[in-house]
Structures are given as structure tokens and as C-alpha cells.
Structure 1
């Protein structure tokens, strides 16, 4: 296993900030080199192309999302309904406040077409989160866990966009209420459980 490189970390932190704040196409390699305090040779040693740097930036964001979602699910291992609500609460508390320009995966994906790494990474993380939601809904005997998980992702995506554009000061409350209603509408009634 190779030791973590401080230069690689600086490059990634700089790219993360600039790509998210200004957009990937708007930020050139020379600017990342200058702001991260490395040489061009050092950057290309760690990231042979800008596409490699884009992929690493999104992989880093995805690793955070994996840890966040898995942490909530693990904390409520025996209560999938509570895990689902806590995921919504974490999204409102952490993500809506920290993603003032919208979802980094959607933003990056919008800048590219076809099978570019940005689009591939966006698809991968969305599929992974949707899959985790579907697993929780299955554990609750939801009537249609696949559709329920897809709808929850749609609501989350809409809420993130709303947070970046609309200035809704009750976004968190509105989001959690909608999220919970979607979940509950697909759960068996007490008589169905009997």
C-alpha cells in the first residue's frame, strides 16, 4: 500500500473546491497547479489527464456519501423505518447546507455527454443510494420497493435543486414530510400485516 501523498491531497482539495464552485469546464489545469502549490509534473504524475482528476474528485465525493449513508443505516440496523427518516434528516442537516450550488454529481454530469467519467460516476452513486433505499423498503415490506426508492431519489434530487435555487426557508421540513409520506404510502396497513 502506498503512503498518502500530501501533494495529491492538495491537488484533490483544490480541484474539489474549484470544480464545485466554478464548474469543471471553467477550471483549467494550470489554475489547479497554481492554487494547489504543485508543479505540472507532480499533478500529471498523480492524475495523467484532467479526466482522471475529475474521476478522483467524484470518487472522493462518493466515498463521503457511502460513509454517510452506511453510517446512518448501521446506526439503525434493527429499525429500517428509522434509518430512512434519519437519512432524510442527515440530508437536510448536512447536504442542503453544504451544497449551495446543487449536487456535485448532477452538476458534473451536466457538463459532459456520453460515457464521460463524470456521467459514469454520477450514475454509479445514484444507483448505489437508490439500491440502499430499496433494501430498507424491502425490509419494511413496502408494496413496491423499487418504485419507492426511485421516487425517494427523485424527491431528494428535487430538494437539492430547490435548495440551490429557490430560497425555501422551510426546505428541510418540507422535504422530510414529503419523504416520510412517500415511504408510509407504500407500507402495509396494520390489517395487512396481520
Structure 2
């Protein structure tokens, strides 16, 4: 049922999908759904937690694979977006989408902020290891570029999205590095 909720929430929007539809498409009873998720908000939180867990695993695996080369880790994080994620997020970032449907301190907004903060912190750690001039600002800017690229992938007809994104990503990193570490 969580896989069904994930698919429907992402493809159609959280508000547009009712619990009854998830029950029907999951072939579970209402009692079963509510036993696992006492409210729709609990189901929304589980959906976003599932997405965040996958993102954590992906980012951590890339960083771990390039533990001795933070520059390569940063480049690979961008390359994975172009290889895998842009196609997978054809409707935009699930965290941004969920956040846009809710206001204030709703779990969707809280989880969106948490995952974005976590990814930004990981980028900043890598930039610090490279003695980047301003790792905090560069990490924030890299996250903005990533967000913009995901939105562009969902909305624009940019046949050069991958190249444009990778160029911008690498330039933001290089601009704060000592010359011997630049690409």
C-alpha cells in the first residue's frame, strides 16, 4: 500500500489522492491501511520518509565510494542526477511538490526541509574537505542549481539540460577551489 501511495502521490499530488483510492488500488482493507497508518498524514510522512531513505542511501553510497576524493564525489553526485534522477523526477522533486501542497509545520514541509538540509550539509562537508573558499554558500548554491535543474527537467524543453547543469555545478565548485584542484 505504501508503494501505491508513493506512485499516486507523486504522479497526481497528495491532495488529489484520497485514502479510499489507495485502499482500492492496493487491494487492502480500510482496517489494514489504518492499522499501519492511523491517518493520511501518517501515510504522507511514510511516503516522504521512504523517498528520503532512498536519497540518503544514494548520496551516502556515492560519498563512500569516493571517500578519498571529495572532488570526485561532488562530480559523481551531479552525474547521478543527470543519469538517473532527472528521468525519475519528470514531475519535479517529490519533496518540493509535497511541500507546495501544505503550509506551515505540516510533516510534508518539515520532511522537505530536513532532506534538503541534510543534502546541503553533505555537500558542505565535501567542499570543506577541499578547502573551498566558502563551503556554506557554495553548498547552498549547488542545492539551488540542483533544484532549478529538476524543475527545468519537469517543465522546460531544454535539450541541453544535462550539459548545462553539469557545467554550472562544476563551475560553482571550481570558483572557490585552489587552482591546483580545479577541473
TM-score by length of 1: 0.92
Question: How many angstroms apart in 2 are the aligned matches of 1:85 and 1:173?
Answer: 13
Give me the whole-angstrom Cα distance separating, in 2, the residues matched to 1:19 and 1:12: 10
By how many angstroms is 1:169 displaced?
1.5
Q: What secondary structure is seen at the aligned counterpart in 1 of 2:91?
A: coil
Residue of structure 1 equivalent to 2:143: 153
> Which residue in 2 is equivalent to 1:42?
32
Which residue of structure 2 lines up, in the alignment, with residue 20 of structure 1? 10
1:100 match: 90
Give the total of aligned pairs: 180
Which sits farther off after the overlay, 168-177 or 28-37?
168-177
Distance, in Å, in 2 between the alignment partners of 1:14 and 1:168 is 31
Please show how residues 17-166 of structure 1 align to structure 2 within 5 Å: 17-166=7-156
Give, in angstroms, the shift of residue 139 of structure 1.
0.2
Equivalent-residue separation in structure 1 for 2:62 and 2:82 (angstroms) = 14
- Cross-structure match for 1:3: none
1:37-94: CA deviation from partner (whole Å, max 9, x where unpaired): 0000000000000000000000000000000000100010000000000000001111
The aligned residue for residue 175 of structure 1 is: 165
Find the residue that maps to 2:87 and give its secondary structure: helix
Q: Cα deviation per residue 1:76-127 (whole Å; 9 max; x = unaligned)?
A: 0000000000000001111101010000000000000000000000000000
SS in 2 for 1:143: coil
SS, match of residue 66 in structure 1: helix
Give RMSD over aligned pairs: 0.6
Unaligned runs of 5+ in 1: 1-10
Tell me the distance in 1 between the aligned counterparts of 2:122 and 2:15: 32
* Cα distance in 2 for residues equivalent to 1:166 and 1:81: 29
Given the alignment of the two structures, is residue 189 of structure 1 paired with residue 153 of structure 2, yes or no? no
Using structure 2 for the length normalisation, give the TM-score.
0.97
Please, which runs of 5 or more residues in structure 2 have no aligned partner?
none
